[in-house]
A = this chain, B = another copy of it.
Amino acid sequence: MHIRLINPNTTAGMTATIGEAAKRVAAPGTQTSASNPESGPVSIESHFDEAISAVGVLEEIMKGEREQVDAYIIACFGDPGLMAARELTRAPVIGIAEAAFHMATLISTRFSIVTTLGRTGIIAEHLLDNYGFSHHCRRVRAAEIPVLDLEDDSDAALVRIIDECKRARDEDNIGAIVLGCGGMADLTDTIAEAVGLPIVEGVTAAVKLSEALLGLGLGTSKHGDLAFPRSKTFTGSFAALSHQAFPLK
């Protein structure tokens, strides 16, 4: 059972963080590997970054298909390219935002999200709506730290995240907190200890959900709107995608 974690940004340090977080929670029989696209933004902090990163995510899925990967995780909290990725494979594909939301609703009736920058809050709001979890989330909060500070200035970032989590705990009438960035994957235990209520982190949640689906023999439905894309011509820098028949082998 091989689960591939795709870090949609191109910062290798963050890919490593995500890969290690995955390994820590993977079951004995589970192989995990982490990758990131060659091309794309070093961090994802806007709709623009997200749209560009989706291309890399899809390339990583196609690479994984050729390597017969069994499940994929999109390890950025906006779940960039999720629907498109699902079309490319029979394997399960899980976004870390959805993973965290699902898990949070299983252990609490209401949760809050603590993310990096306020400007990305709208992305979380849209996902909550799409996935059906708007009523379960009391508030989307931001620690107002750029994503790469999680790498470059991690101590200061941790302090701000913990402070915001404590405000969530004390003001939001919640049972759990969802961490809103894949780059926080290595901070979960520290935050949980400092804050004292369940902290749900998406990378690790997605690993376990992938194992769960694989254990059930379930993968992305190819019946209906997530069927493989129709083969067709692509032009220019995307010409390599032309006449690609799916599933890839």
Hey, which bits of chain A sit against chain B, CB under 8 A?
10, 25, 27-29, 37-43, 45-52, 54-55, 58, 81, 83-84, 86-88, 92, 94, 98, 102-103, 105-110, 118-122, 126, 129-136, 146, 169, 173-176, 196-198, 200, 204-205, 208-209, 211-213, 215-216, 218-221, 223-227, 229-230, 232-239, 241
Contacts and interface: CB of A to CB of B under 8 A. Distances in A.
Contacts of A94: 106
Contacts of A119: 224-225, 227
B218 A107 contact: yes
B129 A129 contact: yes
A28 B30 CA distance: 12
30 contacts: A27-B211, A28-B28, A38-B237, A39-B237, A39-B239, A42-B234, A42-B235, A46-B229, A51-B58, A51-B83, A92-B107, A94-B106, A98-B105, A106-B209, A106-B218, A107-B226, A108-B223, A109-B226, A110-B225, A118-B225, A119-B224, A121-B225, A132-B132, A146-B230, A176-B223, A200-B216, A205-B212, A208-B213, A209-B209, A209-B212
Nearest to A58: B51
Given A39-B239, A41-B232, A209-B212, 8 more contacts: A25-B215, A45-B230, A49-B232, A119-B225, A121-B225, A132-B132, A198-B219, A208-B212
Nearest to A205: B216
B197 A223 contact: yes
A175 B215 contact: no
Nearest to A200: B218
Q: Which of A87, A131, A204, A224 has the largest count of B CB atoms less than 10 A from its CB?
A: A224
Nearest to A226: B175
Contact of A39 (B29, B205, B230, B234): B234
Contacts of A47: 83-84, 86-87, 226
Given A47-B87, A52-B234, A218-B103, A224 B41 contact: no
Contacts of A122: 109-110, 225
Nearest to A26: B215
A121 B122 CA distance: 24
A225 B106 contact: no
Contact of A107 (B46, B51, B55, B219): B219
